[in-house]
Amino acid sequence: MSTLDSKLCRLFNIPHPVVLAPMGAVSGARLATAVSQAGGLGLIGASYGDPTWMKTELEQMREVIQPWGVGLVMFTVAKNMALLDLALEYQPHVVALSFGDARPFVAPIKDAGALVVVQVHDVDQALAALDAGADALIVQGAEAGGHSLRRASLPLIPAVRDAVGEQAVLIAAGGIADGRGMAAALLLGADGVMMGTRLLASDEALPSTGLKQRVVHGIASDTVRTRGFDQIRGIDWPEHYSGRALANQFTERWLGREHLLSSAASSVAYDYAQALRVDNLDVRAIWAGEVVDLVNDILPAGQLVEQIVAAARSALQQGARLCL
């Protein structure tokens, strides 16, 4: 098995420093299991916390012997702590928290025997998360699919490393889809990587083949940043966050006019809900990062993990040859 030595591997007790992004409506039990069984860390994307969905997916993880975890959005859980209690009932090894203040959640997670990982988007957030007791940080750049701030991964990862010191465990996210990106992240100071868009285009991911094919055929210039998909769903995201998704008819209509969605006719919200039910890809959100250029096929997740780790080792070895 081709692997890489990393503090992340030692912390999570996994062979490969690869983490599945806990993407809502994407990272279900099949995908999380496949990543964990391949030697990475699979995370269930509990997202905004649908208890029925969580029970269905988390129940399937009881038979997984490898480390796995669950991802939760903090500003949602803060309003309903029962969602955290529900997740902890299934004894995940890791709970990944994003978008909010981690302090209320760290103690109950650690009391349940799980590690706490917190996603951050700038240096101040990283310092605050460590102060709250995070065991590791997900350092996410703006290239990522879904929600983020504005700093790119290339300057953000080393800036966080310099600020937090060498002992903190950092997981790079945003703009990573292959071994070259993984190798670059490790050289920038990360101890491992989190991948979303690349693993969205996997056999085990929950979305339809049609949605995955949109990702395969997309390019970076097809992505846009918008708050529109959140506003039409009535999700009150923190002010400075927007989400990166593939452009479609919905974004063509509303990009730059998102402020009008809050007062739009109820028929717009109804049409969007209907688009979700029937998987209308011209209307529903397809969250994807700038790495869509590098996603050219749909493969089993385990195969992707192995290929990316092997390619990262090769890239690092080739780079070392440049040093005379």
> Which CATH number fits the domain that encloses residue 29?
3.20.20.70
Terminal CA-CA length for the chain: 29
**Looking at residues 37-59, what average pLDDT do you find?**
96
Is 2 a residue whose pLDDT tops 60? no
User: Do 312 and 187 lie in a common domain?
Assistant: yes
Domain range enclosing 103: 7-206+297-320
Asked whether residue 214 is assigned to any structural domain, the reply reads no
SS3 224: strand
pTM, rounded to two decimals: 0.96
Give the angle 271-272-274 at the CA atoms, nearest 5°.
65
Res 265: pLDDT: 66
13 DSSP 8-state letter: T
Separation of alpha carbons 271 and 321, rounded Å: 56
pLDDT tens digits for range 123-170: 999 999 999 999 999 999 999 999 999 999 999 999 999 999 999 999
| pLDDT range class, residue 5, cuts 50, 70, 90 | confident
Say if CB 31 and CB 203 are below 8 A apart.
no
Asked whether residue 26 is assigned to any structural domain, the reply reads yes
Is 294 a residue whose pLDDT tops 80? yes
Domain count, the chain: 2
User: Do 198 and 97 lie in a common domain?
Assistant: yes
User: Do 73 and 176 lie in a common domain?
Assistant: yes
SS3 content of the chain, % helix, strand, coil (to 5): 45, 15, 35
The DSSP result for 98-162, as a single string, is ESS--HHHHHHHHHTT-EEEEEESSHHHHHHHHHHT-SEEEEE-TTSSEEE-S--HHHHHHHHHH
Asked whether residue 316 is assigned to any structural domain, the reply reads yes
CA count, 13 A, side-chain hemisphere, 320: 7
Asked whether residue 289 is assigned to any structural domain, the reply reads no
**Looking at residues 258-282, what average pLDDT do you find?**
88
The answer for residues whose C-beta is within 8 angstroms of residue 120's C-beta and 6 or more apart is: 126, 128, 129, 137, 138, 139, 140, 160
**Looking at residues 107-118, what average pLDDT do you find?**
98
User: Do 96 and 190 lie in a common domain?
Assistant: yes
Asked whether residue 288 is assigned to any structural domain, the reply reads no
Res 170: pLDDT: 98
User: Do 129 and 270 lie in a common domain?
Assistant: no
User: Do 171 and 269 lie in a common domain?
Assistant: no
SS3 240: coil
**CA-to-CA dists, residue 97 to 53, 101, 207, 258, angstroms:** 18, 9, 23, 27
41 DSSP 8-state letter: B
User: Do 126 and 223 lie in a common domain?
Assistant: no
Q: What is the mean pLDDT of the chain?
A: 95
Asked whether residue 58 is assigned to any structural domain, the reply reads yes
pLDDT tens digits for range 162-216: 999 999 999 999 999 999 999 999 999 999 999 999 999 999 999 999 999 999 9
Res 72: pLDDT: 97
Which segments of the chain are extended strands (E)?
Answer: 18-20, 42-47, 68-73, 94-98, 115-120, 136-140, 146-148, 170-173, 192-195, 223-226, 242-246
Of the candidates 130, 127, 172, 170, the one whose C-alpha atom is nearest the C-alpha of residue 151 is 172
